[in-house]
Amino acid sequence: MIFLVTGAGGFIGFHLSKALLARGETVIGIDNLNDYYSPLLKQARCDKLKISKNFVFYQADITDISALENIVQNHPDIQIIFNLAAQAGVRYSLENPFAYIQTNVMGQVTILEMARQLPKLQRIFYASSSSVYGLNKKLPFTEQDRVDRPSSVYAASKQSGELLSFTYHHLYGLKQTGLRFFTVYGPWGRPDMAYYIFAKAITEDKQITLYTGQNLSRDFTYINDVIGALLSLLECSVLEDYGIFNIGNSRQEKVEHLVACLEENLGKKAIINYISRPGTDIEATLSDISAIYNATGWVPQTKLSDGIHRFTSWFKLCNGLFG
């Protein structure tokens, strides 16, 4: 099959592309390799993918209509789109809200318009986020929960993407599946994520910041489990024409436990500074994954302690290589 993967130089896009190439599929990758975090890391991921003769790469922005039209002309037989390109990060959305609207809203529309031109397209899978659950207090989060109270511009942009996708399904019959990711971590991960920032600070004997609160916790989801979920959805023969799935570990782990796992694997104690939690950050996340289990039988396999061990093994080898 022929796949288009946007954000191929990103964390999830890289691992998904690698898995698809290992199956013998053809992957058309798009990434603008921007400098939100180290372009060297993004380029290193792409270089690994370029080893395969079945990988074709375009350095382009998903909001660039002419670039996407060129891809359609060169690859009219694209069958599946994984739209994983995004402006990520909750805190950065306070500094640069325009970047989130441009990439996560305008970019979604541009990809949807591109999809309408592909005669053999079967389905679009697109990245959403657990952040859409916003100010919800009930745990675990289910796909039926209200998502109209976002706590950040990032969350609002992701919910906007979901609404646009449903609209294009309604108007044009595009089959689409939304993916609400819960705190994905692992080797080749994003340096702006807390686990990566903590690992770097602990290694360098620098202070890390934790938020106060009795229930500061996350549903940490290991990257290999995420890819397993995506492949299970890809192979599922009973997907509805439009739907949304939580992609999480369905385990609630205190952030302090994450720090303890990092300390154990790095062999150093963290220097911790506690501050009040900002309003943009959700206190706790926990996924209900019964919907994807019922559809595909997928269940995550990786405990946080095991996943952090694998991450730190990679981190020790690669820390400092990408700026």
Spell 91-128 as b/e; 16+ CB within 10 A means b: ebbeeebebbbbbbbbbbbbbbebbeebeebebbbbbb
Domain ranges of the chain: 2-182+220-249+286-301
The pair phi, psi for residue 95, each rounded to 5°, is -85, -40
CA–CA distance, 12 with 24 (Å, rounded to integer): 19
pTM: 0.96
Question: pLDDT value at position 51?
Answer: 97
Q: Which CATH number fits domain 2-182+220-249+286-301: 3.40.50.2300, 3.40.50.720, 3.40.190.10, 3.30.1330.20?
A: 3.40.50.720
Contacts (Cβ under 8 Å, ≥6 apart) of 260: none
Catalytic residue selected from 37, 58, 133, 154: 154
CA–CA distance, 154 with 37 (Å, rounded to integer): 16
Question: pLDDT value at position 221?
Answer: 98
Per-residue pLDDT tens listing for the chain (323 residues): 999 999 999 999 999 999 999 999 999 999 999 999 999 999 999 999 999 999 999 999 999 999 999 999 999 999 999 999 999 988 888 889 999 999 999 999 999 999 999 999 999 999 999 999 999 989 999 999 999 999 999 999 999 999 999 999 999 999 999 999 999 999 999 999 999 999 999 999 999 999 887 788 999 999 999 999 999 999 999 999 999 999 999 999 999 999 999 999 999 999 999 988 877 778 899 999 999 999 999 999 999 999 999 999 999 999 877 76
Amino acid at 79: Q
Q: Does residue 293 carry a catalytic annotation?
A: no
Which tokens in the block code for residue 190? 């994003």
Q: What kind and span of H or E run contains 188?
A: none
CA–CA distance, 74 with 14 (Å, rounded to integer): 22
Contacts (Cβ under 8 Å, ≥6 apart) of 274: 209, 210, 211, 212
The answer to whether 149 and 134 are in contact (CB under 8 A) is yes
The answer to whether 226 and 122 are in contact (CB under 8 A) is no
Q: What kind and span of H or E run contains 240?
A: none
